[in-house]
Amino acid sequence: MKKGFRFYNVLIEWREKYLSERSLILILSFFVGAFSALAAVLLKTFIHWIQLFVENILVHDTHTYWYFLTPMVGIILSALFVRYIVKDDIGHGVTKILYAISQRKSIIKAHNMWSSVVGSALTIGFGGSVGAEAPIVLTGAAIGSNLGKLFHLDQKTLMLMVGCGAAGAIGGIFEAPIAGLVFTLEVLLIDLTMTNISPLLISSITATAIAYVFNGMEPMFPLEVTEPFTLSRIPLYLLLGVLCGFVSLYFTRGMNGLETWFKEHITSFWGKALVGGVTLGILIYLFPPLYGEGYTVIQHLMDGHILQDFAMSPIASLNSTIWMVLVYYAVIVLIKIVASVATNGGGGVGGIFAPSLFMGAITGFVFIRLYNIICFAHPALAVAPEANFIMAGMAGLMSGVMHAPLTGIFLIAELTGGYHLFMPLMIVSVFSYMTIMLFEKHSLYAMRLAQKGELLTHNKDRSVLTLLKMDSVLETDLTTVTPDMTLGQLVKVIAASHRNIFPVVDQRGRLQGILLLDEVRNIMFQPRLYKRFTVKDLMSYPQAVIRDDWSMEKVMKTFEDTGAWNLPVVDQSRHYKGMVSKSQIFNSYRHVLVHFSDE
């Protein structure tokens, strides 16, 4: 152990002596990308092995009651793993990264480098209706954060390492280097500067190259275009974009509402696992396409095999007309969020990448199949290629749910190889994003943090205020006085103090008011009044009181509303904590702004 520490110390000394910080960042970005890609390959491999075990050992038929039981097994195993081994919450991976960037100085716990891989493999391998991408993004970000900490990087550079891990994870899991870069810039809000762009690109490209070695270079959903983009299809793509925006709104608010309900109404560990597992099992039994990530279903739709997955459902034996098929898939769009919430709420580990792609593909399919049915009835109308619209639907849902149109455009282009269809991808993505922005300002990842004022944004002012913490501006060197203190006693306190504000607190430490030197200046040199007045007679109530758990944006708004320059800070029980001044906030704001804007 001592030899290990000695080697580490020698390595740090050598780095500080011979390696510039810029060179170190570029080298680390390579290793972060490589490790993130290996984590992505491991996750895919684990999921594949578990799925083979389920399909070859447990399940021997295309539709069996095992499909009802295996998702519950995965949820319970994952929940037990998290509760007794990890002993920490590892859900909502991207939200955790955003929180770490804004509130934890980009520090992510070391166990996140492996715990999400195990948890999501158990969940998805046994049929959980979620995606593996958010867990692997958290894994990559944790690799970047902890590797950065190992080399004593500062907060700004550590934030960049977290971004490199996320970019590498997307590049490794999807084999999509450009999508890895733009996801980091759009969703994680890393600034687009030349200082940042090179490490992000290195991580993303490195991860993608390693993924190619293990998985090959074939796109995830290879697209054979039967008809190129034509101008006459623009109105259809516009309509699909608006539809995807509304489905994204349903996804965002529905998912958030269901998660809140699940958390508030089911509190016991086994109760969550049972309700989540049973709910998911019933849904998968009736709607087999909900099993797992759903990528196989997407490929079947793009290949035109729309009956292949429908035929596995007991519903198919009742009615198998095309209208029943369309209703079946439309219902799947509506209940997919229920299946995902049941998976994660029951104790599983997974993200919303795959559900958003899954719902987008089905939305595009139902939309264009309805249009084509109308075309068959009216020969004057030309039939549209369904695969193109399925692809565009995936881009639209991802853009709307994540509030990331560039990510939607480039990810789907790289997943399908459909670079020649950039125009429809752009149209659908932008109109989906514009539609949801009319109703929901924040993505599903960001809305919880935004409600608490803990979210970084591309607005520089808000981001800097978010990075400011109360303890960095709190002044605790003011002398406190009590309400029953006489003027004579107060004069002695004033003589020993270098401040002109005196917080008034009672015996229990609770704030009662403040006393300003200007308010007693005219009587403090009149000894005959020393016993006549007490602090209680002379104090005043502050224009506002600040809570120590408020965001700095809310603090600044309070200063603007009151016009004050100094305000007291209290905790939830109104115990006095200190004073905060507008000038101190401005000084700290300038320091943070200079630090994070430095190229």
pLDDT (tens digit per residue) in 99-136: 777 666 778 999 999 999 999 999 999 989 999 988 99
Q: Is position 226 within any domain?
A: no
Does pLDDT of 178 surpass 90?
yes
Q: Which pLDDT belongs to residue 465?
A: 53
The confidence band for 530, taking pLDDT boundaries of 50, 70 and 90, is: confident
- 3 state SS of 293: coil
Does pLDDT of 580 surpass 60?
yes
CATH number of residue 9's parent domain: 1.10.3080.10
Contacts 24+ apart (CB under 8 A), 144-152: 144/28, 144/32, 144/36, 144/168, 144/203, 145/100, 145/106, 145/107, 145/108, 146/108, 146/110, 146/113, 147/28, 147/31, 147/32, 147/35, 148/28, 148/106, 149/107, 151/12, 151/15, 151/24, 151/28, 152/12
Q: Which pLDDT belongs to residue 349?
A: 92
Asked if 503 and 489 sit in the same domain, the reply is yes
Does pLDDT of 575 surpass 70?
yes
The overall average pLDDT reported for the chain is 85
- Last-in-domain residue among 215, 249, 276: 215
pLDDT (tens digit per residue) in 443-490: 887 776 666 555 554 444 555 555 566 777 788 888 888 888 888 888
Boundaries of domain holding 37: 2-215
- Closest C-alpha among 248, 284, 49 to residue 276: 284
Does pLDDT of 322 surpass 70?
yes
Mean pLDDT, residues 425-430 taken together = 95
Q: Which pLDDT belongs to residue 457?
A: 47
Site of tokens 């491991």: 42
Number of domains in the chain: 3
Find all residues with CB under 8 Å of 372, minimum gap 6, and list them: 383, 384, 386
Asked if 468 and 518 sit in the same domain, the reply is yes
Does pLDDT of 587 surpass 70?
no
Asked if 415 and 483 sit in the same domain, the reply is no
Percentage of the chain exceeding pLDDT 70: 88
Q: Which pLDDT belongs to residue 564?
A: 81
Q: Is position 392 within any domain?
A: yes
Mean pLDDT, residues 12-21 taken together = 74
Q: Is position 148 within any domain?
A: yes
pLDDT (tens digit per residue) in 279-320: 999 999 889 899 989 899 999 999 888 888 888 888 888 887
Dihedral sign of CA atoms 61, 63, 69, 71 in order: positive
Mean pLDDT, residues 5-13 taken together = 70
Asked if 590 and 512 sit in the same domain, the reply is yes
Residue pair 373/379 in contact (Cβ under 8 Å)? The answer is: no
Asked if 91 and 201 sit in the same domain, the reply is yes
Q: Which pLDDT belongs to residue 451?
A: 60
DSSP 58: I
Q: Which pLDDT belongs to residue 599?
A: 47
**pTM of the model as a whole:** 0.78
Q: Which pLDDT belongs to residue 162?
A: 92
Does pLDDT of 593 surpass 80?
no
The residue type of 208 is T
Does pLDDT of 358 surpass 50?
yes
Q: Which pLDDT belongs to residue 63?
A: 53
Polymer length in residues for the chain: 599
- Closest C-alpha among 180, 179, 206, 172 to residue 39: 172
- Last-in-domain residue among 445, 462, 479: 462
Give the dihedral of Cα atoms 421, 296, 257, 179; nearest 10 deg: -40
Which has the minimum average pLDDT: 359-368, 496-505, 540-549, 578-587? 578-587
Nearest-angstrom CA–CA distance, 589 and 599: 18
Mean pLDDT, residues 178-185 taken together = 91
Mean pLDDT, residues 61-68 taken together = 65
pLDDT (tens digit per residue) in 195-245: 778 999 999 999 999 999 999 888 888 877 667 788 888 999 999 999 999
Does pLDDT of 597 surpass 60?
no
pLDDT (tens digit per residue) in 475-528: 888 888 888 888 888 888 888 887 888 888 988 888 888 888 877 777 877 887
Nearest-angstrom CA–CA distance, 311 and 488: 91
Asked if 492 and 569 sit in the same domain, the reply is yes
- Last-in-domain residue among 427, 462, 497: 462
DSSP 113: G
Nearest-angstrom CA–CA distance, 246 and 252: 10
Mean pLDDT, residues 159-184 taken together = 92
Q: Which pLDDT belongs to residue 2?
A: 56
Percentage of the chain exceeding pLDDT 90: 41
Nearest-angstrom CA–CA distance, 466 and 454: 6
The residue type of 201 is L
Residue ranges in 379-477 assigned as alpha helix (H): 386-402, 405-416, 422-437, 447-451, 460-467, 470-473
Q: Is position 248 within any domain?
A: yes
Nearest-angstrom CA–CA distance, 196 and 86: 33
- 3 state SS of 501: strand
